[in-house]
Structure 1
């Protein structure tokens, strides 16, 4: 959870501006505030696309950049609240409240799946680190037993990757329902969310004085970019990454549509032989395969027969694997921190809105629905 001060601040703002207004006036600064939100989101999406072109759309650097866009956009939506005067009166359609709780609950589930996906990659990383440690020690000591332990760790890594590949092939070939991985289920859920997401129209958008348009912008951005992270962490999927049907009237629409098309091109063109989609994991996988083959060619009956020239060759392979493994490890920790921060942000905003609704005169069914959703999210945390 976020610190109490942060939650209290959001709660106070929401109390002030989401409360019951029978005769609320349009804030004169709202138009410029919303324009600034749309401009900043446009710039972030354009920068993200440029970053993808230079660093790779399925690299950890790009995923970290994508998560920072989600977090910054959520923060900008929160800052728009003081400029809004939303009514919760019975005379106005409040379906957006239900939609917000439902979509944010699903995004909380996405965060949990992403954390599990990151943990899975970290487990692969541990096997590689174990192999590197044993190989480096064996070169110094000449201990053949360490070569065997290194080979076993690399074998375990390869078997884990092949298991994923076999599961995907089984899903693709079978006409029957086959259990899917959590990442695959998560990808399907995000795809469905993107297909069903609707832009605020008519009285709803006017009533909110543009605030719901910003909420829509955040949800579109979060659904697509979380889908990109899911795609990168999963092994090669049968379908391309999540796409969102984007309303075209917003300043940021063109930037997001262009980014989606580019990501789809990249994922569709990935080489067929690749198991891992995350660039750094793919590089580790390729290095592991080469080193594993080298060890198999020299390890006989637990005796490692190798010349000095071959030791020099193996050192080069070790250095390559060490570099790729380091690139993978460096990005995983900050990515997990960002996912946890998104989870905390979503919980904080849900509780703040719930607190406001519970104190309004028209809470009724929304209060019960909200308590149920918040409870479900807390159980999954």
Structure 2
């Protein structure tokens, strides 16, 4: 896993893209406000669940799984909100469609990168299993093979992943396109944009933490106005996570992920013991370390499997939402832009 070279680099090359919607203009009814407040209350509850009781829970695979699950739920809530607002796609402003499609394709790219890294880490599990198998013998030759497998694991885990290395630029592009479209005449549109704002903040935060955990090279700080009811909870969560990331980056650890660090600690402890095993006392010590490595390896494998399922689930949520929007646009013969985020030439879809 690459070392942090630019851990403090900002993801805001274009300034803060999260600008609060203007309070002026169309008045939002009490009924619409009630819908919005319920949505934001759910968002805040998820942020609270992500706030760990101990900093040791941060950057664990279980925390990352919970964070990805929160993204799935929040993006599904947006779909539900659109239904509650009775705001069909053909009534959407063209700019909203552009923003949604632009963001969704970047999120799909991030999911692909994260899945690629999780697959790479899972592949390292085979090397650990091979090492554990050889450590079950008392043969010096088998110990040598175990050391070779452990060396291979460390080299494999420490190697770079080109797809993960591109996450920083994808997030930069994502942030550059997150300017909230101004809504002048639609109260329902204002509610939708404010709800989407909250989900965007959560999404960028979680994805930036994943990028930091996998690459050791990026993190970000989002400034959210206190006008949002969930802002204090988000700020507390972000400060806690970012501080722990900073501490781990500066400590020189092999990895910032808890489960990987646990395996690495057992591997480091094994090496000197394997070299000098000559009596029953040393054999007993070796057996204990091997057992601990086995437990750490199993926990890592299970954590990777669960997180992979959540990332795949989020990919499907984004993909189905995108497909549903495009299907609605086709059935309504709505004008959208070809080459999202670039060429502004329009195309009729029918």
TM-score, normalisation: structure 1: 0.75
Secondary structure (helix, strand or coil) at the match of 1:255 reads helix
- Assess if the C-alpha contact under 8 Å between 2:99 and 2:177 holds in 1: no
- Assess if the C-alpha contact under 8 Å between 2:64 and 2:210 holds in 1: yes
The equivalent of 1:283 in structure 2 is 262
Distance verdict in 2 for CA 1:190–1:293, change over 3 Å:
farther
Asked which structure has the greater RCO (Cα within 8 Å, sep 6+), the reply is 2
By how many angstroms is 1:192 displaced?
4.7
The unaligned stretches of length 5 or more in structure 2 are 1-27, 343-350
Q: Deviations over 1:175-196 (max 9, x none)?
A: xxxxx83213213422453465
Question: Which whole-Å CA distance do the structure 1 matches of 2:238 and 2:45 have between them?
Answer: 15
Superposed counterparts of 1:138-217, under 5 Å: 138=137, 142-164=138-160, 181-194=162-175, 197-203=178-184, 206-217=187-198
Question: Which whole-Å CA distance do the structure 1 matches of 2:162 and 2:76 have between them?
Answer: 32
Question: Which whole-Å CA distance do the structure 2 matches of 1:207 and 1:27 have between them?
Answer: 9
Distance verdict in 2 for CA 1:290–1:206, change over 3 Å:
same
Q: Deviations over 1:189-248 (max 9, x none)?
A: 2245346523454427635151222222222211211221222233x32x4x23334344
Superposed counterparts of 1:201-350, under 5 Å: 201-203=182-184, 206-234=187-215, 236-237=216-217, 239=218, 241-270=219-248, 271-295=250-274, 297-298=275-276, 306-350=278-322
- Assess if the C-alpha contact under 8 Å between 2:69 and 2:310 holds in 1: yes
The equivalent of 1:175 in structure 2 is none
| Structure 1 residue 45 corresponds to structure 2 residue 23 | no
Question: Which whole-Å CA distance do the structure 1 matches of 2:132 and 2:191 have between them?
Answer: 55
| Structure 1 residue 79 corresponds to structure 2 residue 80 | yes
The unaligned stretches of length 5 or more in structure 1 are 1-25, 165-179, 299-304, 373-381
Question: Which whole-Å CA distance do the structure 2 matches of 1:30 and 1:354 have between them?
Answer: 26
Distance verdict in 2 for CA 1:281–1:88, change over 3 Å:
closer
Distance verdict in 2 for CA 1:207–1:350, change over 3 Å:
same
By how many angstroms is 1:266 displaced?
0.6
Question: Which whole-Å CA distance do the structure 2 matches of 1:353 and 1:81 have between them?
Answer: 12
- Assess if the C-alpha contact under 8 Å between 1:205 and 1:212 holds in 2: no
TM-score, normalisation: structure 2: 0.81
Q: Deviations over 1:132-167 (max 9, x none)?
A: 11112x0xxx33332222111011122234545xxx
Question: Which whole-Å CA distance do the structure 2 matches of 1:269 and 1:192 have between them?
Answer: 27
Distance verdict in 2 for CA 1:75–1:55, change over 3 Å:
farther
Question: Which whole-Å CA distance do the structure 1 matches of 2:186 and 2:179 have between them?
Answer: 12
- Assess if the C-alpha contact under 8 Å between 1:187 and 1:242 holds in 2: no
Secondary structure (helix, strand or coil) at the match of 1:68 reads helix
Distance verdict in 2 for CA 1:333–1:217, change over 3 Å:
same
Aligned-residue RMSD, C-alpha:
2.8
Show structure 1 runs of 4+ deviating over 6 A. Answer: 87-90
